[in-house]
Copies of this chain bind each other. A is one copy, B any other.
Amino acid sequence: MASNLLEGKKGIIFGALNDKSIAWKVAEKAKEQGAEFVLTNTPVSIRLGDLNKLAEQTDSLVVPADATNIEDLRDLFDKTMDHFDGKIDFILHSIGMSPNVRKKKHYDDLNYEFMMKTLDISAVSFHKMLQVARKKDAINEWGSVVALSYIAAQRTLYGYNDMADAKAMLESIARSFGYIYGRDRKIRVNTISQSPTLTTAGSGVRGIEGLMDFTERMSPLGNADANECADFTITLFSDLTRKITMQNIYHDGGFSSMGMSYRAMKMYNRSLYCDDCPDPEDIED
């Protein structure tokens, strides 16, 4: 949809790795809607991914930064404000990683140094970027900050591991900082709880295909994809949603409000009434 919802708005987008990334799609859509932005990611992600391609495509500046590092964040905000010669209007936080998941540590056998890293990367980084922005007064009044979350913050999914705790904390930070930033500077802070999505990060989750088939059949509108998530993110950055803050909004085709759908139950029952099928326990992950 050609429109001008973000005309004149400036922002920072964290976490675009490649063209499967939600952050990548947000950048494309934000550009279409008239925004300018700085793209950022860790140096290693920039090396492994295609961020420079996106920067070219959207005529954006890239500033490498580790979002857990205060010095990097200060540098990022300084360069961004220099680049735009002023404050910004929106930020996207699309960052998450668990060393415990990567190293296949089960949730009842966590490495606590890893867990602290999970929290630092996936949740505390959101506080850090907000605190640095706040101290530099880097965001215009009625600016909008969005972080991407997942329903694991409310409901346990096997294999999602300590990322669930990190997402719960991420959403809490959105509320806690949303209060202060709203009260003091009229800036809103929200999280989007997105369907499971086959990004490079999402692909790493155990049993993602079976889960996505289930959530697809459970959700009356099917799973939301990265493009659709980007569309919704644009509305949260726009001036049309100025009074929404401290919220976690489900963008998931209705999954979060479902107890059991006809389509998912049928599929499940097929297994239930299947005499020749292998024992469920014998199926490989």
At the interface, yes or no: A254 with Cβ under 8 Å from chain B? yes
Given contacts A108-B135, A158-B179, 5 further A-B contacts (CB under 8 A): A160-B259, A178-B257, A182-B253, A223-B243, A229-B243
Chain A interface residues (CB < 8 Å from chain B) = 1-5, 70, 106-110, 112, 115-116, 119-120, 123-124, 127-128, 130-131, 134-135, 151-162, 164-165, 167-169, 171-173, 175-183, 186, 188, 195, 207, 210-211, 213-214, 219-224, 228-229, 231-232, 234-235, 238-247, 249-254, 256-274, 276-278, 280-281, 283
A71 to B214, CA, bound (A): 40
Q: Which of A116, A164, A173, A240 has the most CB of B within 10 A?
A: A240
Residue of B nearest to A234 (CB): B240
| Cβ-defined contact, A156 with B228, below 8 A | no
A280 touches which of B232, B257, B263 (Cβ 8 Å): B263
Chain B contacts of A224 at CB under 8 A? Answer: 243
- Residues of B within 8 Å of A5, CB to CB, are 1, 3, 5
> Which residues of chain B have C-beta atoms less than 8 A from A245's C-beta?
220-221, 253-254, 257
Query: Which one of B162, B243, B278 lies within 8 Å of A221 (CB-CB)?
Result: B243
Which chain B positions have C-beta within 8 A of A238? 1, 235
Of chain B, the residue at the smallest CB distance from A231 is: B240
Contact assessment for A243 and B195 in the assembled complex, using a CB-CB cutoff below 8 Å: yes
What are 8 residue pairs bridging A and B, where the CB atoms are less than 8 Å apart in the complex? Answer: A1-B4, A109-B135, A115-B127, A116-B124, A161-B176, A178-B254, A220-B245, A267-B271
